A and B are shown apart, each in its own frame.
Chain A
Amino acid sequence: MGDWKFQNRRSFIKYALGTAAGFYYLPAFAQDNLLYQKGIEKLTILYTNDQHSRIDPFPENDAKYPGEGGFSKRATVIEKIKKEEQNVLLLDAGDIFQGTPYFNYFQGELEYKLMSLMQYDAVTFGNHDFDLGVENIVKQMPHASFDFVNCNYNFNDTDLKDHKKISAYKIYKKGNIKIGILGLGINLDGLIAPKQRQGLIYNNPIELANKTADTLKNQENCDLIICLSHLGYKYDTDKVSDILLAKNTENIDLIIGGHTHTFLDEPFKTLNRQGFEVQVTQMGWAGIWLGRIDIYFSDRRKNMLQNNTSLRVK
Chain B
Amino acid sequence: MLRKTGIFVLFFLLAFWACRTHYSVNKKEAQHQSLKGTASSAKFDSIISPYSKVLGTEMKKELVVCTADLTKDGNETAIGNFVCDAVKWAYDSLEKAKQNVIVLMNRGGLRVNINKGMVTVNSIFEVMPFDNELEVVVISGKELEEIIQRILEKKHAFLGMMIHAEDKNYAAIIDGKAIQPELNYTLLTADFLVSGGDGFTFGQHLLSEKKLNFKIRDAMINYCRHLKYIGKTISPYKDGRLEISK
Identify the A interface with B (CB < 8 A).
1, 4-5, 9, 12-13, 15-17, 20, 40-41, 52-53, 55-57, 59, 61-64, 67-77, 79, 98-106, 110, 113-114, 117, 131, 176-178, 189-191, 193-194, 217-218, 221-224, 253-254, 265-267, 279, 281, 283, 287-301, 304-305, 308, 311-312
Interface 9-residue window, one of B21-29, B95-103, B224-232: B21-29
Pair A102/B51 contact, Cβ less than 8 Å? yes
User: What is the chain A residue whose CB lies nearest that of B132?
Assistant: A193
A295/B54 contact (C-beta < 8 A), A190-B196, A222-B21, A304-B11 known: no
Give the distance to chain A from B232, nearest Cβ to Cβ, in Å: 21
Pair A293/B197 contact, Cβ less than 8 Å? no
Pair B41/A79 contact, Cβ less than 8 Å? yes
Pair A304/B26 contact, Cβ less than 8 Å? no
Give the distance to chain A from B120, nearest Cβ to Cβ, in Å: 10
Pair B23/A298 contact, Cβ less than 8 Å? yes
Pair A289/B125 contact, Cβ less than 8 Å? no
Identify the B interface with A (CB < 8 A).
4, 8, 11-12, 14-16, 18-41, 43-45, 47-48, 51-52, 54-55, 58-59, 69, 71, 111-113, 115-117, 121-122, 125-126, 129-131, 192, 195-200
Nearest first, the 7 A-B pairs at minimum CB distance are: A72-B40, A72-B44, A16-B26, A223-B23, A297-B23, A296-B27, A289-B32
Give the CA-CA distance A102 to B41 in the complex, in Å: 19
Pair A289/B48 contact, Cβ less than 8 Å? no
Give the distance to chain B from A108, nearest Cβ to Cβ, in Å: 12
Give the CA-CA distance A59 to B236 in the complex, in Å: 20
Q: Which residues of B contact A59 (CB under 8 A)?
A: 115
A299/B22 contact (C-beta < 8 A), A16-B27, A290-B32 known: yes
Show 15 residue pairs from A and B whose CB-CB distance is below 8 angstroms, ordered by the A residue. A63-B69, A72-B48, A73-B39, A74-B38, A79-B41, A99-B126, A105-B55, A189-B196, A221-B21, A222-B21, A265-B32, A289-B32, A296-B26, A297-B24, A299-B22
A114/B54 contact (C-beta < 8 A), A1-B18, A5-B18, A294-B29 known: no
Pair B30/A308 contact, Cβ less than 8 Å? no
Pair B197/A191 contact, Cβ less than 8 Å? yes
Pair B29/A4 contact, Cβ less than 8 Å? no
Give the CA-CA distance A114 to B49 in the complex, in Å: 12
Q: Which residues of B contact A9 (CB under 8 A)?
A: 24, 26
Pair B33/A292 contact, Cβ less than 8 Å? yes
